[in-house]
Amino acid sequence: MKQIKGPAIFLAQFASEQTPFNDFNSICQWASQLGYKGIQLPSWEARLFDLRKAAESQDYCDEITGIANEYGLTISELSTHLQGQLVAVHPAYDQMFDGFAPKEVHGKAQARTQWAVDQLLLAASASEKLGLTAHATFSGALLWHTVYPWPQRPSGLVEQGFEELAKRWLPILNRFDEVGVDVCYELHPGEDLHDGVTFERFLAATNHHPRANILYDPSHFVLQQLDYLAFIDIYHERIKAFHVKDAEFIPNGRCGVYGGYQGWQQRPGRFRSLGDGQVDFKKIFSKLTQYGFDGWAVLEWECCIKHPEDGAKEGAEFIKQNLIRPTETAFDDFAGSSTDTERNKQILGLI
């Protein structure tokens, strides 16, 4: 059996202008002092990482890896969540998502999409030079505005939407395949890939591409009221990355899974720091270990109540306590015996 690696931390929510979160060396030192062994790097965060330079320069990648190693850290994955989102954007969201891209492509949907695709291709090259095997991203969305339709969706709309999504992603998936890296989509509300059914639609549209895989994050399934443990049983062969993020869903008489346009603190479904929500991580770590997942357990801190630095500090120990060292022997080996074909025949009544 294989063992999950960790604890690791996604740095996106911590990068800022404040020390120690404003440069790669300092944030590595901070993460290491908290007990983390791995870091997931947001590729858009220029204060920490230069994606284009990493794609073009092995020396730069060696330098980045070396700094992390000095603090006992391994880079678990690169993330292109923001750029992946821009691979497919419905026009209704153009203005809101322009902020994820450089100013020169604002208001230019086609140019913004091409920029996003180019970013993913750079990420493939950078991942190869960094020696990574998995990559974290979002799928983007052309259909999200029809997720709960009224009037009903025209016939064939969903199929055409996934055909177009696959068309945009296939060159990216092929490039990642060339460098031996899995593309792990975080299944997330707001994305066309947000649950098992939509992931299956995408697989079918990409002819079950071997690099189209899943970043498993149970918090998004809690907010959708999806069975996050059964999900592992169904899709474990495609789970290649793991965000350890807690959440809670507390029904009330005023609103449900859609949240009523309220702020995070007022919604029935809320993200929480590890241990403060409802996710059964003991069962999750057990199932993932059972199925041989050996990727990184990466804290993604998002909480509407607790301070991020407290969440990060507590998260390292929380993940460490949930890691399972797989057994190398069966518990009843002591009662076993060697194979004896003739004796087995006697037991079976064959002789």
Nearest to 54 by CA among 117, 114, 131, 138: 131
pLDDT of residue 244 exceeding 70, the answer is yes
Q: In angstroms, rounded to a whole number, what is the distance separating the alpha carbons of residues 194 and 221?
A: 9
Rounded to the nearest integer, the mean pLDDT of the chain is: 96
pLDDT tens by residue, 299-348: 999 999 999 999 999 999 999 999 999 887 776 666 677 788 988 988 89
- Kindly state the tokens that stand for 65: 């890896």
pLDDT digits (tens, 9 = 90+) for 46-103: 999 999 999 999 999 999 999 999 999 999 999 999 999 999 999 999 999 999 999 9
In degrees rounded to 5, what are phi and psi of residue 215? -95, 110
pLDDT, residue 63, reads 98
- The answer to whether 105 touches 48, Cβ cutoff 8 Å, is no
Q: Where are the alpha helices (DSSP H) in 89-240?
A: 94-97, 109-130, 157-178, 196-205, 218-224, 228-235
**What is the domain partition of the chain in residue ranges?**
5-347
Q: Report the b/e string of 8-27 with b at 16+ CB within 10 A.
A: bbbbbbbbeeeeebeebeeb
Helix axes 196-205, 157-178, angle to 10 degrees: 70
pLDDT of the residue at 313: 98
Report yes or no: 138 and 184 within 8 Å, Cβ to Cβ. no
- Reply yes or no on whether the pLDDT at 35 is more than 70: yes
Q: What residues does 215 pair with on adjacent strands?
A: 186, 241
The CATH homologous superfamily for domain 5-347 is: Divalent-metal-dependent TIM barrel enzymes (3.20.20.150)
Tell me the per-residue pLDDT of 170-226, one tens digit each, with 9 for 90 and over: 999 999 999 999 999 999 999 999 999 999 999 999 999 999 999 999 999 999 999
Adjacent-strand bridge partners of 246: 272
Structure confidence at residue 333 (pLDDT): 66
pTM reported for the whole predicted model: 0.95
pLDDT at 335: 64
